Structure 1
Amino acid sequence: MDSKEKQFLELLDAHKGILYKVGRMYTNTVADREDLHQEIIIQLWKSYDNFKGESMFSSWMYRVAVNTAITYFKNEKRHSGALSYEQIQEPAQENYNAEKDQQMEVFYAAVQQLNPVEKAIIFYYMEGLSHKDIGMQLGITEVNTRVKLNRIKEKLQQLIKKTDYES
C-alpha cells in the first residue's frame, strides 16, 4: 500500500461518520445504504488527487458525498415508497435514550420524503454550515438557501405532524 492510499484510508476512517450521515439521509434500507457508501468511497478515491487541502478534508468529503448521493439516486431512480425499519447497525451511543431514538426515526422518516436537494440543504444545515456556505456547496445564493431552508423546515414539521408523533 502506497502512502497516498494509506493517507486516504486514514482520512476516510477518521471521517466515516459522514458516510453514515449521508447514507441515513438518502436511503431507506441497509442494502441501499451500503451501495451508496461504496459509490461515495469510489467517487472520493477518484477525485482524491483533486483535493488540494485548501479546505478541511471533512468539508470536501461532505461535498463529494452529498453530490454523489444526489447524482446516484437521480441516475438509479432508487427511491422506494415505504420505509423499512430493518435491524440497522448504527454507531453505538454511550447514553441510549429511547425517546430520542424514536424522535430520530420519525425525523429520518420525514426526511426520506424530501427531494435530494432538500435533503442536501437540511443535511448541511444540521452539520452547522452557514446559509452562505450551504449556498456555495450547492451553487445557489445565500438568499435562496434561506428561503429553501425555511420551506424545508415547514415541510418537515407538516410531515412529522402527519405521523401523529408528539414530543
Structure 2
Amino acid sequence: MSTPSSQDQQYLEAMRLHGAELARFARGYERDDAKRQELLQELQLALWQSLDNFQGQCSLRTWAYRVAHNVGASHVQRSLRQAERQGLTLEEAESLADADADMAHTERRIDLGRVLALIHRLAPLDRELMLLYLEDLDAASIADITGLSARNVATKIHRIKALLARQLGPQESKP
C-alpha cells in the first residue's frame, strides 16, 4: 500500500480544516441541492488538482478560497449562459417551514433565507465578497483571493452591509 503524496496530504488537511467553510461557500453560489453537491465536488477536485502548484506563498485557507472563487465564478458564468434561474422565492421558502419547529428556529431560518436571497440577487463579485466576509475573512484576505485592493474590498463590504441592513430592516405592517 502506497503512502499518500504531498498533494494528497495537503488536500486532506485543507478539507479537514476548511471543508465546512467551502461547503457553506458553495451554498452561497448554488441554491439547488443537487447542483450544489456537483459544485462542491467540482471545487474539491479543482482544489486537489491545484495543490500540485501550491508553494506556500499564502495560507492554505487563502489558497482554498482562491480555488473556490475561480470555480464559483465559472459556475455562475455557466449558469447565466444556460439561463437557469430556478429557485424558491422568499415567500415560497417561508411557506415550507416545518410546522412543528419552534418559533425562534423558524425566525432564524427565515432571516437566513432572506439574507441569502438578497445576497443571491447581488452581482457575482459583490455576492462573492459578502460570502467571503460571512466566512470571517478580513479585507486583506479577500483582496488576495479576488485580486481587488483591500480598501476597495472594505468599501464594497461596507456598502453591501448598509444595503442589506436597509432591506432587512423592520417590515412596516400594512393596515
TM-score normalised per structure 1:
0.76
Which of 26, 29, 37 pairs up with 1:26? 29
Gaps of 5+ in 1: 88-96
Cα root mean square deviation, aligned: 2.8
Aligned equivalents of 2:74, 2:46: Cα separation in 1: 11
- Tell me the distance in 1 between the aligned counterparts of 2:30 and 2:161: 20
- Residue 122 of structure 1 and its aligned partner are, at CA, apart by 0.9
**1:82 matched to which residue of 2?**
87
Q: Superposed, which structure 2 residues align to 1:1-167 within 5 Å?
A: 2-4=3-5, 6-7=8-9, 8-77=11-80, 79-83=84-88, 85=93, 98=105, 99-161=107-169, 164=171
Can you list the C-alpha shifts for 1:57-103, whole angstroms capped at 9, x where unaligned?
A: 22211221122101221134265253375x9xxxxxxxxx6033332
Structure 2 distance, partners of 1:14, 1:41, is: 13
User: Secondary structure in 2 aligned to 1:3?
Assistant: coil
Report the counterpart of residue 92 of structure 1 in structure 2.
none
How many residues are paired up? 155
* Structure 2 residues not aligned, in runs of 5+: 97-103
Q: Does the C-alpha gap of structure 1 residues 142 and 43 become closer, same or farther in structure 2, counting only changes over 3 Å?
A: same
User: Which is greater in Rg?
Assistant: 2
Q: Does structure 2 conserve the Cα–Cα contact (< 8 Å) formed by 1:23 and 1:36?
A: yes
Distance 2:3 2:34 in 1: 31
Using structure 2 for the length normalisation, give the TM-score: 0.73
